[in-house]
Amino acid sequence: MSNSKIHLRASNSNITLPKRKAVALISGGLDSMLATKAILEQNVHVEGLNFFTGFCVEGHTQALRKKDTQKQKRNNALWVAEQLGIKLHIIDIVEEYKSIVINPKYGYGANLNPCLDCKIFMIQKAKEWMLENHFDFIITGEVMGQRPKSQRKHLMPIVAKESGAEDRLVRPLCAKNLPPTLPEQQKWIDREQLFNFSGRNRKPQMNLANTYGFAEYAQPAGGCCFLTNEHYSKKLQDLWTHRGEKLYELDDILLLKVGRHLRPRPHFKLIISREEGENHYLEGYCHQFIHLRPLSHPGPIALLEGEPSAEDLHLAAQIVARFSSRRTEACVTIQIQQGRDDPRTLEVIPLASEAIPEDWYI
């Protein structure tokens, strides 16, 4: 499939062999970094793919908050690609990915994480990319038995088959536990230089990282997808329940990552910023929502989603006042504006902390 060539001397004659090309799924974590390195070591040209679903746990989203300013503001997949010296293509799959989240063939994990369907879908996209770009095979950092939902031994052939990648899917970290793939059979890569990792023990990966001289690598706690997060999944489920349909847009799922989410009544919800960075972010959405902000003193911006009555708006204003810096004052002035309409103000008594039932928090 590849046009590029390398020249090898064998049996005293010049033989021209194609330099094989592999596309690696790069998450930004250690496993895909090691898997890619293992194939690079075998003189294969590798380029990386990273998929943007909208649910990705991004340092930057978290870095909206001051408490997260210590976190490195970097994209781990780009960082890994740079360490490996490979190109990385970041692919926007937000629209196509919706069907995976909304209707996963293999169901959800502990939360709204459709891990098996997601894995199949991403490898299918990688296969399309491989064919379009005349690459030869696909690499993933999967390790047999490492993930309860998507990396169990009996599921690995299903992923290879359903994605259409079949025997062009190489999992270098656990290849020796699996039947030889086409690149191994054809000697494009040497099976003996691949690995037999399995299970949840991370020590083999750490040892291999040492061997390769990787002193630094990302170790995301809780994975790289918000759908594995119980709190986030609860907010997504709430969105579906109260809209009466299992659909979403990109802005919906991005906003679920930001602020406090409270549903004081079934027909409206508030997204209240927690600090300045979130205020700036929510500011960008004000033209699409009814929004509230304290006028008499600094405080949070809140977006209101739903169809509130006058009474509901008063309650919303009281809640916003509760999260402002003057929550103990007798009266706080809150500005309410619908999109870009003329704003109006309400004078409200901040709601007492104990007057906000726990079940309003989503």
> Which residue is associated with the tokens 């079934």?
266
Q: How far is the CB of 178 from other proteins (least distance, A)?
A: 30
Collect all residues with Cβ–Cβ distance below 8 Å to 160 and sequence separation of at least 6: 123, 166, 167, 169
* Residue whose CB is less far from other proteins, 81 or 100: 81
* Residue whose CB is less far from other proteins, 19 or 89: 89
* Residue whose CB is less far from other proteins, 151 or 229: 229
Question: SS3 for 139?
Answer: strand
* Residue whose CB is less far from other proteins, 84 or 174: 84
Q: How far is the CB of 2 from other proteins (least distance, A)?
A: 20
From the CA atom positions of the chain, what is the Rg in Å? 25
Angle at 270 between CA 64 and CA 318, to 5 degrees: 110
> Which residue is associated with the tokens 């799924």?
25
Q: How far is the CB of 86 from other proteins (least distance, A)?
A: 7
Task: Report the phi/psi class of residue 156: left, alpha or beta, with left for phi > 0 and alpha for psi in -120 to 50.
Answer: alpha
Neighbours of 69 (CB within 10 A): 11
**DSSP per-residue letters across 220-236:** -TT-SBGGG-HHHHHHH
Q: How far is the CB of 296 from other proteins (least distance, A)?
A: 24
* Residue whose CB is less far from other proteins, 64 or 348: 64
Distances (CA, A) of 155 to 146, 165, 200, 343: 12, 14, 16, 56
* Residue whose CB is less far from other proteins, 27 or 181: 27
Q: How far is the CB of 354 from other proteins (least distance, A)?
A: 35
Q: How far is the CB of 73 from other proteins (least distance, A)?
A: 5
- Summarize as ranges the residues that interact with other proteins (CB under 8 A): 50, 52, 56, 58-61, 63-64, 73-75, 77-79, 81-82, 85-92, 254, 280-281, 284
Distances (CA, A) of 169 to 23, 130, 204, 232, 338: 10, 11, 22, 32, 52
